[in-house]
Amino acid sequence: MSFDPQPVSAAWQDLIKAFTVEHILVRHKSVSHVAAACSALRFLATTSSKEPWDITAEDVQLACAFSDEDQPSGGRSIVLRGIVGSLIDPLHLFDACPLSALVARPIANRKGRAKFAERAAKQQKTLSERKAEEKLPERKAFWEIIRIVFTERPKTLNDALRFAMIKVLLMTGLRINEVAALPLDWKRTRGYVTKEGRPAGEIGGVSEALMIRHFAEKQDSVRLYESTQFVPLLFRDELESTLKEVERLTAPLRATLRAQYETGRIFPMYSEEELVDSVEMYVRLTGNAVWARAPLPYGVEQCLARYAETFDAALLLELAHLQRPASTLTVAISRYFSPERRKDGLVPLAADGSRVTARGVQRTYLRVGEVEAYVKEHLPTKLSDLTPLTLDNGESIAPWQMLFLMPKRAVGAGRGQTVLDPNLTFSVGIADSALLQVALGADSQRDRSLFAIYGRTEEDRALSIKSHSFRHLQNTELFRLGVADTIITKRFNRRSVAQSYEYDHRSLAEELDQVSLPEEWELMIGESKAATVAKMIQVGRANGPIVREFKRIQADEGDAAALQFLAAEADGFHATPYGTCLNSFTVDPCPKHLECFTGCRHLSATNLPEHQKNILTLHGRLKVALEHALARPEGSVGRANQIEHASVRIAGVEKLMAALPGQAPFPDGQDLSRPATRESVLHGA
- In this prediction, residue 580 carries a pLDDT of 67
- In this prediction, residue 401 carries a pLDDT of 94
- In this prediction, residue 448 carries a pLDDT of 85
- In this prediction, residue 30 carries a pLDDT of 81
- In this prediction, residue 413 carries a pLDDT of 55
Which helix H or strand E contains 331, and what residues bound it?
helix 331-336
Q: What angle do CA 524, 525, 531 make, to 5 degrees?
A: 140
> Could you tell me the residue ranges of all domains in the chain?
10-111, 257-430, 519-685
Q: Hey, is 567 helix, strand or coil?
A: helix
Instruction: Tell me the pTM.
Output: 0.62
Whole-number Å distance between alpha carbons of 87 and 46: 19
pLDDT per position as a tens digit, 24-41: 888 888 888 888 888 888
DSSP labels, 291-325 = -BPSSPPTTHHHHHHHHHHH--GGGGGGHHHHHTT
Q: Hey, is 230 helix, strand or coil?
A: strand
* Cα R_g (the chain), whole angstroms: 37
Q: How many CB atoms lie within 10 A of CB 631?
A: 9
List the one residue out of 113, 108, 47, 98 whose CA is nearest residue 76: 47
Which residues of the chain carry a pLDDT beneath 50?
1-2, 107-125, 414, 416, 572, 585-588, 677-685
Q: How many CB atoms lie within 10 A of CB 241?
A: 11
Do residues 15 and 34 lie in contact, with contact meaning Cβ atoms separated by under 8 Å?
no
Using left for φ > 0, alpha for ψ between -120 and 50, and beta otherwise, residue 392 falls in alpha
Q: How far is CA 612 from CA 457, 510, 581, 661, in A?
A: 36, 19, 16, 11
Do residues 367 and 374 lie in contact, with contact meaning Cβ atoms separated by under 8 Å?
no
Q: Hey, is 216 helix, strand or coil?
A: strand
Whole-number Å distance between alpha carbons of 162 and 450: 9
- In this prediction, residue 164 carries a pLDDT of 95
Do residues 24 and 31 lie in contact, with contact meaning Cβ atoms separated by under 8 Å?
yes
Do residues 519 and 29 lie in contact, with contact meaning Cβ atoms separated by under 8 Å?
yes
